[in-house]
Amino acid sequence: MPCPHNEITIVQRSQRQSAVAAAAYQSGEKLFCEYDQQVKHYPEKRGIVHNEILLPANALPEYADRNTLWNAAEAVEKQWNSQLAREFGKGFSRSNLQNMRAFYLAYEKCQTPSGKLAWSHYCELLTISDECKRSFYEKEAVNSGWSVRELKRQIESSLYERLLLSSGDANKEKVLSLAQKGIEIAQPADIIRDPYVFEFLGIPENKPYLESDLEQALVMQIEKFLLELGRGFMFVGTQQRITLNNTHYHVDMVFYNKILRAYVLIELKTKKLTPEAAGQLNMYLNYYAAEVNDHDDNPPIGIILCTDKDGVAAEYALGGLSNNIFASRYVLYMPDKEQLVAQVEAVLKKWHDKNDGNQ
């Protein structure tokens, strides 16, 4: 039978005496305890508490009997959640206990979790059922120093699936590598994602916009843009001038990746990839390699961000160039997670079928 009192606040509990017992002593009453079927009198005041339990106007008639009232309050106090709170402190809500159980099942070895992540990080990670995917986000959260909010955003933007699809050759080895090591940046291709997700700009999908508008919006949200670009990126500037034969050109955005020790030049396009864009960026990269790079810098990297690209056209536009130039799509909204997962599964199935056929 539930007790209709408002609340019993537990401040202290001495020698396993209850707040209800302390209140009973303070109010001068003896209790018949249903737990051990004895009448109890508490000669000493232990713990805290309430002088009285106040009943609402619509309380059941049986609570007029003091023993019934006190025992109902005692039953509430002995609830499993309350007992845990008294023994170990606060934080034992039903959802948190479910997370603790899930954590125990996912990380049976105490050495597995990282001490660099907070409990809130793991609560977010436990929403991922796929072990490889969860391991990837955990490694990247540690390596990149993501906050809980940043981790949640990367999960929602399907970073794991986007990375698997970026090079177009997803396979089991790549899945295991991402799960075990996170993103390894050893060559220019390792920093590329396709598509890039710019949902944080708040630009309506069907609203016309200029390249200058996109550039300005990215600069205004530079921290979020750097998060989307990945580890090691440092912002240099926009509209960086290049002068050749008294003619001025401007690179849309310039970054430096300290892991690759290379400048990264980004050209923004509000339309699909064109061969002209690749040729122009190739000229900029040649200039940076000859005029801007220090002796210990690696060759600069070029990225064309466009709304769409044709696979065959991109291959011919970018093929045969001595510089590292990549073309990636960008979207202004969160990608369809189920669609990306399906694409990854399809590519992996194709890879498995091919390998089974070669055996």
pLDDT by position in tens, the chain (length 359): 344 333 333 333 344 445 555 555 445 555 555 545 666 554 444 433 344 555 666 677 777 776 776 677 666 655 555 555 555 555 656 677 777 778 878 777 655 666 788 888 988 998 898 888 898 999 899 988 999 999 999 999 988 888 887 765 555 667 777 877 788 899 998 999 988 999 999 988 778 899 999 999 999 999 999 999 999 999 999 999 999 989 999 999 999 999 999 999 999 999 998 888 989 999 999 999 999 999 999 999 999 999 988 766 677 667 767 789 999 999 998 888 787 778 777 766 766 666 655 55
**pTM of the model as a whole:** 0.66
Structure tokens at 57: 């106007």
Strand-pairing partners, residue 39, are 32
Contacts of residue 248, Cβ cutoff 8 Å, sequence gap at least 6:
241, 242
Which of 183, 184, 178 has the alpha carbon at shortest distance from 134?
Answer: 178
Task: List, in order of start, the domains of the chain with CATH numbers.
Answer: 19-88 (no CATH), 94-178 (no CATH), 196-334 (3.40.1350.10)
CB 259 within 8 A of CB 231: yes
